[in-house]
Amino acid sequence: MVEGGFTKLLRKKLFFHLAQKYQPLGSSEPKEEEEEECELKIIEQEKEVAVLAPKDACKCHKEDLAKALNVDLQTGLSECSVLQRRLKHGWNEFSVENTEPIWKKYLDQFKNPLILLLLASALVSVITKEYEDAASITMAVLIVVTVAFIQEYRSEKSLEELNKLVPPECNCLREGKLQHLLARDLVPGDIIYLSVGDRVPADLRLIEVTDLLVDESSFTGEAEPCNKTDSVLMEAGDITTLSNVVFMGTLVRYGKGKGVVIGTGENSQFGEVFKMMQAEETPKTPLQKSMDRLGKQLTLFSFGIIGLIMLIGWLQGKHLLGMFTIGVSLAVAAIPEGLPIVVTVTLVLGVLRMAKKRVIVKKLPIVETLGCCNVICSDKTGTLTANEMTVTRLVTSDGFQAEVSGVGYNGEGNVYLLPSKEILKEFSNVSVGKLVEAGCVVNNAIIRKNSVMGQPTEGALIALAMKMELADIKDTYVRNKEIPFSSEQKWMAVKCTLKNQDQDDIYFMKGAFEEVIQYCSLYNSGGISLSLTPQQKAFYQQEEKRMGSSGLRVLALASGPELGKLTFLGLVGIIDPPRAGVREAVQVLLDSGVSVKMITGDALETAMAIGQNIGLCNGKLKAMSGEELDQLAEAELSSTVKNVSIFFRTSPKHKLKIIKALQRAGAIVSMTGDGVNDAVALKSADIGIAMGQAGTDVSKEAANMILVDDDFSTVMNAIEEGKGIFYNIKNFVRFQLSTSISALSLITLSTVLNLPNPLNAMQILWINIIMDGPPAQSLGVEPVDKDTIKQPPRRITDTILSKSLILKIFMSAVIIISGTLFVFWKENPKGGINPRTTTMTFTCFVFFDLFNALTCRSQTKLILEIGFFRNRMFLYSVLGSFLGQLAVIYIPPLQKIFQTENLGVLDLLFLTVLASSVFIVSEFVKLCEKHCCQPKHTKGCHN
């Protein structure tokens, strides 16, 4: 009862507000009686008007539609009805669920196991009164967490951005008056008027149309605008077949129309995508998983050290608490606190390098994820192709054939006569010239600033005329009459006369071959009209079929004095061709073991033609439709999709299904796309890549990466960068762990065996600076090797600490420990340790460190192959560390602090030769691996 009373009160207040808002100028306040009467009317007509699904609405007659939505199609809704429906259906917009507060998102960054381990080591440092260590570790953690938080905070706005595609204004009929309203004000049952250039404000069932063409490519992937009708459909297929329904966010390209709102906000087709995006979680990246595993491995390693030290101490009868303190200190020292900083800096530099290549990366770890990517699923329209219809083939009525270069509406390119490859201009070949002239005249499109206003197919014909230098020929004719194109007759014709010439009228016609040929009795042969024979018709039909089977949209052109006596001029083949560089990029990806799959809403023939053209799966194509996908069980789907190269007639749900199936099969999936229909798949893929220019706001915000220039080939650069980053992180881990294990082993051995300590506290601190400082950090910025792209994608199960890396770490550590202990033994006099002993041992260890860093620049390539001078930061870091070590040895004030003394030239030479052993052995191992263990990977179509 209380709830009902509150609802009535709310309605009353809202109605009063609306009555004030819409009262005529100069009128007094709304009368109390009218308000009461309307309120009673609302309460009496508490009839819930439900939204209509497009598949139901398309089968309704206008009268049934008006009855179902309780609206008068001539006057529209009343303000009372609008208020009633808004209370039920809400505003025509998308509401994003309350997100977590910023502080909670920041704290979530601390859940990383490695970060928690570092915080634990900082706490131990405080307990053991090592305050400097605690401060440095805490500072490192805060820097890493803050950088990661800022990056991720910027990128988590995908759902909010959906509102940007909802148009702000529309023309709506209410209470018999055409009003200019905000799109968010619409409710089911509103009557909307559409004209050229309008974005559709809600899902509409059309009730009146005049030559209406709507661009639905962002939903369906179809490059060609859809012809819309107001007639009732008997059967409802998928959304591409609903010719009497238009969807929110699509664009009116031509004509005008009137429709009834059947779905708003989340109840629209657009809303379906919104809800699917809400349900999708962005998957964790392989690097994040690898770092999690590394954190756990280092934790176990730390506890192992503590346990071992305590066990040895207990066996020796030492005090357990003291041994525990030593064990904890060593464990803390073993944890590479520089690792998170190196990872973050490496990723940030990767992001900056990608930005220079016109690729925006929104989440740091995504850069590295590309190194694991083994399947790229790409949308066709606007991604692999430019979404610009282009004439690529001409066949004249007298048998001449020509091919056309250049893509889009900029007029760049040429027409080449086959097989001679002669470039044709104007009427240098009369038959080709007449064919191009007809296409230019029977045309309503205009090209301005390299974009088409009108139908894309007509734009393609204008662009063809521009390439032939015939674009102005249209101005030599005066148009007297137009017979517009309709989906029933499938042709368009114009009746013209030449300017300033007293000649007979001439008709120009274009359309489907089987329709145009019926109006022809002659054919053109070098400018002369000859009688059309059955043999000629059969030849044209064969050519039309051949062009159609290669994915071209074929138009026939004719001209003549009257319909029925036209001269057939020839055929024009139009397609949305692949972008420049796509074929080469696909080939490089296939060679590196990355499978490329095309997912499109287009028909099979067009999809196969583009697939063949770009070299998908080396020409061995296997295709599957959206309907076939629906019929497969989940288990069967995962095994089937791996071997399919082309998916056609797909919806957003199909795209999501394909990606999920590939992920279940163990693939790391990248999805590239530009439309609303790609948004859900972009978010659920391991890497979502959107187009910067052609892409919708939704696709850009759902993606992790944006290709600013819409250049598919830059994906190669991104994959190369991703592989390089992971290798750099491994190089750093190898260097730091081999150095820390060596230092720890020296201290542990001396502690356990009751030997004098070979290094003092200040010397250990200096080694720590080198271990975590510039030489180590500079390994993270090693430039990406040019052969990296040829390497197969790394498996998701590969950890940073692989068996091979662990063996190399221990190999380097054993050489460093052995060499340092040898120097310590050699320089240890019988009378006990003196400054020379510690200086030689200390310098030996530092030189080992620097040579170790040099060989850690690559795990597989020799230093001569990668070059000494490629990583300048590394050179400066090593040189700085070397000069710093000399300063520690030779400058008197520093000698006092570090307890060192001068060494002779022969001493330095001896230490250099000894320390270089770690470099020489590591390089020799690389050489053996190179000749004995060549990496194997298969090229091709599956993972």
**Predicted confidence (pLDDT) per residue in 787-809, tens digit:** 777 778 877 777 777 788 889 99
Q: How confident is the model at residue 518 (pLDDT cuts 50, 70, 90)?
A: very high
Which pLDDT does position 95 carry in this prediction? 65
How far apart are the C-alpha atoms of 937 and 943, rounded to whole Å? 10
Q: Give the bridge partners for 251, in sequence order.
A: 199, 215
Which pLDDT does position 131 carry in this prediction? 76
Which pLDDT does position 738 carry in this prediction? 86
CA 768 to each of CA 190, 333, 627, 679: distance values in angstroms, whole numbers, following the listed order: 72, 9, 62, 48
- The string of pLDDT tens digits covering residues 101-135 is 777 777 777 776 656 766 776 787 787 777 766 77
Q: Give the N- to C-terminal CA distance of the chain in Å, as an integer.
A: 63
How far apart are the C-alpha atoms of 72 and 83, rounded to whole Å? 16
- Please determine, for residue 28, whether its predicted confidence score (pLDDT) is greater than 60: no
- Mean pLDDT, residues 15-20 taken together: 41
| CB of 223 closer than 8 Å to CB of 105 | no
Q: How confident is the model at residue 18 (pLDDT cuts 50, 70, 90)?
A: very low
Catalytic residue, candidates 185, 190, 215, 379: 379
Residues sharing a CB contact under 8 Å with residue 25, sequence separation 6 or more, in sequence order:
none
Q: Show the 3-state SS of 404-465.
A: ECCCCCCCCCCEEEECCCEEECCCCCHHHHHHHHHHHHCCCCEEECCEEECCHHHHHHHHHH
- Mean pLDDT, residues 582-610 taken together: 85
CA 68 to each of CA 49, 51, 57, 262, 642: distance values in angstroms, whole numbers, following the listed order: 7, 9, 10, 10, 46
Which pLDDT does position 430 carry in this prediction? 92
How far apart are the C-alpha atoms of 445 and 456, rounded to whole Å? 8
Q: H helices of 45-130, where?
A: 54-57, 62-69, 79-89, 102-108, 113-127
Q: Show the 3-state SS of 236-262.
A: CCCHHHCCCEECCCCEEEEEEEEEEEE
- Please determine, for residue 222, whether its predicted confidence score (pLDDT) is greater than 70: no
CA 408 to each of CA 390, 577, 578, 671: distance values in angstroms, whole numbers, following the listed order: 6, 9, 11, 24
How far apart are the C-alpha atoms of 461 and 477, rounded to whole Å? 17
Q: Is the dihedral of CA 229, 230, 233, 236 positive or negative?
A: positive
- Mean pLDDT, residues 320-339 taken together: 61
Q: How confident is the model at residue 323 (pLDDT cuts 50, 70, 90)?
A: low
Rg over alpha carbons for the chain, rounded to the nearest Å, is 37
Residues sharing a CB contact under 8 Å with residue 279, sequence separation 6 or more, in sequence order:
none
| CB of 692 closer than 8 Å to CB of 710 | yes
CA angle 427, 430, 431 (to 5 degrees): 130
Q: How confident is the model at residue 32 (pLDDT cuts 50, 70, 90)?
A: low
How far apart are the C-alpha atoms of 840 and 137, rounded to whole Å? 30
- Please determine, for residue 168, whether its predicted confidence score (pLDDT) is greater than 70: no
DSSP conformational letter for 164: G
How far apart are the C-alpha atoms of 498 and 735, rounded to whole Å? 81
CA 754 to each of CA 314, 347, 748, 758, 814: distance values in angstroms, whole numbers, following the listed order: 14, 44, 10, 12, 21
Q: Which of 194-203, 331-340, 606-615, 849-858 has the highest mean pLDDT?
A: 849-858
Please state which of the ranges 461-470, 694-703, 872-881, 903-912 shows the lowest mean pLDDT: 694-703
Q: How confident is the model at residue 282 (pLDDT cuts 50, 70, 90)?
A: low
Q: How confident is the model at residue 288 (pLDDT cuts 50, 70, 90)?
A: low
Which pLDDT does position 736 carry in this prediction? 81
- Please determine, for residue 943, whether its predicted confidence score (pLDDT) is greater than 80: no
Structure-token pair, residue 496: 């013209």
- Please determine, for residue 402, whether its predicted confidence score (pLDDT) is greater than 90: yes
Q: Higher-confidence residue: 618 or 535?
A: 535
Share of the chain above pLDDT 90, in %: 19
DSSP 835-858: HHHHHHHHHHHHHHHHHHHHHTT-
Which pLDDT does position 45 carry in this prediction? 52
| Residues found in the chain | 943
Q: Which residue has the tokens 């805060």?
A: 142
| CB of 229 closer than 8 Å to CB of 209 | yes
Please state which of the ranges 24-38, 575-589, 631-645, 785-799 shows the lowest mean pLDDT: 24-38
Please state which of the ranges 386-395, 486-495, 775-784 shows the lowest mean pLDDT: 775-784
Which pLDDT does position 25 carry in this prediction? 39
DSSP 247-308: -TT-EEEEEEEEEEEEE-GGGSHHHHHHHHHHHPPPPPPHHHHHHHHHHHHHHHHHHHHHHH
- The string of pLDDT tens digits covering residues 706-747 is 887 777 778 887 788 778 888 888 888 888 888 878 877 887
Q: Higher-confidence residue: 504 or 175?
A: 175
In 175-250, the DSSP E strands lie at 177-182, 191-194, 203-215, 226-227, 245-246
How far apart are the C-alpha atoms of 371 and 725, rounded to whole Å? 8
- Respond yes or no: is residue 697 known to be catalytic: no
Classify residue 733 as exposed, middle or buried by CB count within 10 Å of its CB (0-12, 13-18, 19+).
buried
- The two counts, helices (H) then strands (E), for the chain are 34, 28
Average pLDDT, rounded, for the chain:
79
Pairing verdict, β 177-182 and 191-194: unpaired
Establish whether the linkage from the previous residue to 168 is cis, with ω within 30° of 0. no
Q: Higher-confidence residue: 847 or 270?
A: 847
Which pLDDT does position 941 carry in this prediction? 44
CA 410 to each of CA 451, 553, 731: distance values in angstroms, whole numbers, following the listed order: 8, 20, 48
CA 741 from chain centre, in angstroms, equals 41
At residue 601, the 3 state secondary structure works out as: coil
How far apart are the C-alpha atoms of 515 and 380, rounded to whole Å? 30
Question: Residue type at 609?
Answer: A
How far apart are the C-alpha atoms of 704 and 823, rounded to whole Å? 53
Please state which of the ranges 172-176, 351-355, 430-434, 770-774 shows the lowest mean pLDDT: 770-774
- Mean pLDDT, residues 11-15 taken together: 43
Q: Higher-confidence residue: 618 or 104?
A: 104
